[in-house]
Amino acid sequence: MSDTTTVAPENQAARSEATLLPPVDVVEDVTGITLYADLPGVSKDTLGIHVEANTLTIEGRLSMATPEGLEVGHAEVSLPGYRRTFTLSRELDTTRVSAEFKQGLLTLRIPKAEHAKPRKIAIQVD
């Protein structure tokens, strides 16, 4: 898997605005990979996860409302959302991706395809 900045051709006009790159940790084990993406300020309703061919895209819109009667004097986060795109290995089974989103942390699990999993070879004795 590699991190890339290319965008998929579909819906490219909507993806052309500037976004934040969320920090992502990737952990690999013998059965697949797990991605942990920090997406503070994103709600489940504005989170999108897309897999097209071997490209994984994570997108989320920030929903940080200013309380009524107050005005923002300084904002360190001024972009409207997050976007991160990854190129996935063909060893991963993109049809079995699972996702959990809790308190701004997205956890994605992508298992390895059966042909890519380690297997034990039986030895025959004559």
Domain boundaries, the chain: 2-113
What's the longest Cα–Cα distance across the chain? Answer: 86
What pLDDT, on a 0 to 100 scale, did the predictor assign at position 17? 76
Instruction: Reply yes or no on whether the pLDDT at 57 is more than 90.
Output: yes
Residue-by-residue DSSP string for 10-55: TTTTTT-S--B---EEEEEETTEEEEEEE-TTEEEEEEEEEEETTE
Q: What is the pLDDT of residue 16?
A: 61
Question: pTM of whole model > 0.85?
Answer: no
- Looking at the DSSP bridge assignments, the partners of residue 85 are 4, 57
Q: What is the pLDDT of residues 3-25, one digit of tens each?
A: 443 333 344 444 567 888 999 99
DSSP state of 69: T
CATH class in words for 2-113: mainly beta
Q: Supply the mean pLDDT for the chain.
A: 83
